[in-house]
Amino acid sequence: MHLRLHDARCLEMSTGEFTGWKTSGLALTGLSSSRATPLPSPWQSAFPPEVLEIVFNHTIIPGFLLDPSFIAGPNSAWCKNVRTQKSILLVCKMWYSSGIRFLYEDVYLRRMPQLFSFMNTLAPTSSTMELRNIVKTFNISGHVEAEDTHIFQQKIIQVLGLCPNLMRFGFSSTFDNLPISSAFHHLRPSITQLCLDSPTQIDYPMLSSILRHLGPRLTFLLICPHRIVGNEINAGSAVSLPDLETLICHIDKDELSRQLLVMTASWSMPKLQKLSLCLADYRGLGSATGSHAAAILPFFTKHGSHLRFLDLTAFVARAIEPSGWEGFFQRMCPLLEHLVVDEECFPLKDIVLSNRLKWLYLRESTSYVTAVDAETTVAEELERWQVPFPRLLQYRRLWDLPIYLAEWLHTFPPDTGGKTLKNFVIDTYDGRLVHDASEAEIYLELDQEGYDSESDDEDYAPSSDSDKGSTAPSSDAESGSNESESSRDWAEEVALELAGQNHP
């Protein structure tokens, strides 16, 4: 990932518990995978918990900025961030007490052994009550062998029963043999954010059942509503989402009409404010056919009245003739302030004539356009369109953003200090997060050393290093720990190490 924000003095975030995150060199230091050395005793009580909380907030990279997938290997930014969190816990008891939340608040399970390790860590004992209460996010991805599918689903259900404060559940898998259907009905009422990024696993009847169970409490939903057949469009059960504010929908170019028609006919989303209609790969797909217009217009008529953020891909935009978009947002989305469109949708003047639009995001059709040329082109266009955009403050150019676009753009809002049009650039590539405080620039550089293997990153149950005389947890890629070691109750192991009982 490569994230770059120009002309900003600081970045302030308000997602979860991360507020006022203004990272300096601490973030780069925190990514180091070197082993920690026990601090001198005067340091152990030098800072009160409130100060440590601030330090850790500045040091640990928020999970939503990092990609937990296997693609970047065991030295990815996500893996290094987890190692930093584990190292913090082994400094001293006070650091453990203040830092434990950062590791267990957002849990990503990518392999079967991780699930067993995490299950053992949360086993019902008095010492694990705190850990179970800390878990707020639980994400599942990866491959499960066919012979392990039954036990996998059983363990998932058990974990869900042990996390009373779970607020966000995510499921992402492209493997056909990963069973998950019965687990959804064990999700707690505390769930307010649901990510179902798995088109091969979840068909529309299953999705409809899940949403009827969790819908009344959801505020955020990411879905891939595939496999919609004709009789489900008009005969589908009603889905009520009274508090839903954000919807990210991965549309299929062949199923666009069915997907939008079923959400128009059966879904109720009276508070919807942020909508992203995404394609996994929108380049080179051509335009949607004119027949899709019959589904697009009714959808926005029903669900567009409260929208403030809209991500509209070129595939959807071209389903309607340019003349059909004239005044469209004024009629269908009168409150719209943030608009994301592909640069291929030009001329924008024929598409966007909203008097309330404040932020315009232009998704690049190619990454080979130089920033200077792109800025000049857009600046000239916007200069000529000052009348159609009376409230426009700034615009951004976007390259290769991830699917969680709405979250990213609202986490990093444009500088609202003035009304002068400025250019912001956000690039994303898999890799390491670095923050240059002098320029307030965040970017992720490619760091792909090796590949994940079955022995890597048992991230939620670190192995013991007692034979090496080190108090720091090592990554399994380095230590080669076996499952019996990594399956220990982590809280018990850390307590033993901190007490010095694991050392020769």
pLDDT digits (tens, 9 = 90+) for 214-266: 889 999 998 876 656 555 555 557 889 999 999 988 877 777 778 888 888 88
Q: Whats the size of the chain, residue-wise?
A: 504
Burial degree of 38 (CB within 10 A; 0-12, 13-18, 19+): middle
Provide the pLDDT for residue 270.
94
Phi, psi (5° rounding) for residue 357? -60, 125
Which pLDDT score, from 0 to 100, does residue 490 have? 42
Q: Which residues contact 422 (CB under 8 A, 6 or more apart)?
A: 6, 7, 394, 414, 415
Instruction: For 109-145, give the DSSP string.
Output: E-SHHHHHHHHHHTSSSGGGHHHHHH--EEEEES---
pLDDT at 383: 62
> Residue 423's pLDDT band (boundaries 50, 70, 90)?
low
Share of the chain above pLDDT 90, in %: 8
CA dihedral for 31, 32, 33, 35, sign (positive or negative): negative
Name the DSSP letter for residue 216. Answer: G
pLDDT at 462 over 50: no
Q: Are 252 and 259 in contact (CB under 8 A)?
A: yes
Give the Cα separation of 457 and 68 in Å (integer): 11
What are the structure tokens assigned to 292, written together?
């899709």
Segment 22-39 mean pLDDT: 36
DSSP secondary structure letters along 218-240: -SEEEE--B---THHHHHPPPEE
Q: In whole angstroms, how far apart are CA 137 and each of 175, 197, 217, 241, 495? A: 22, 15, 16, 21, 25
Q: What is the dihedral of CA 391, 325, 285, 310, to 10 degrees?
A: 40
Alpha-carbon torsion angle 317, 322, 324, 327, nearest 10: 90
Higher-confidence position of 353 and 337: 337
DSSP of 384-398: HTTTT-TT--EEEEE
Q: Is-contact 319 326, C-beta < 8 A? A: no
Rounded to an integer, the average pLDDT of 138-151 is 77
Give strand pairing partners of 425. 397
For the chain, helix (H) and strand (E) counts, in that order, are 20, 18
Is-contact 4 443, C-beta < 8 A?
yes
Residue-wise pLDDT tens digits, 31-45? 333 444 554 454 455
| SS3 at position 486 | helix
3 state SS of 165: coil
> Given this model, what pLDDT does residue 240 score?
92
- The C-alpha atoms of residue 445 and residue 77 are separated, in whole angstroms, by 9
d(CA 385, CA 116): 59
d(CA 132, CA 165) in angstroms, rounded, equals: 8
Q: Name the burial class of residue 370, with classes exposed (0-12), middle (13-18) and buried (19+) by CB atoms within 10 angstroms of its CB.
A: exposed
Task: Label residues 412-439 b or e (16+ Cβ within 10 Å = b).
Answer: bbbbeeeeebbbbbbbbebbbbbbeeee
What three-state secondary structure class fits 92?
A: coil
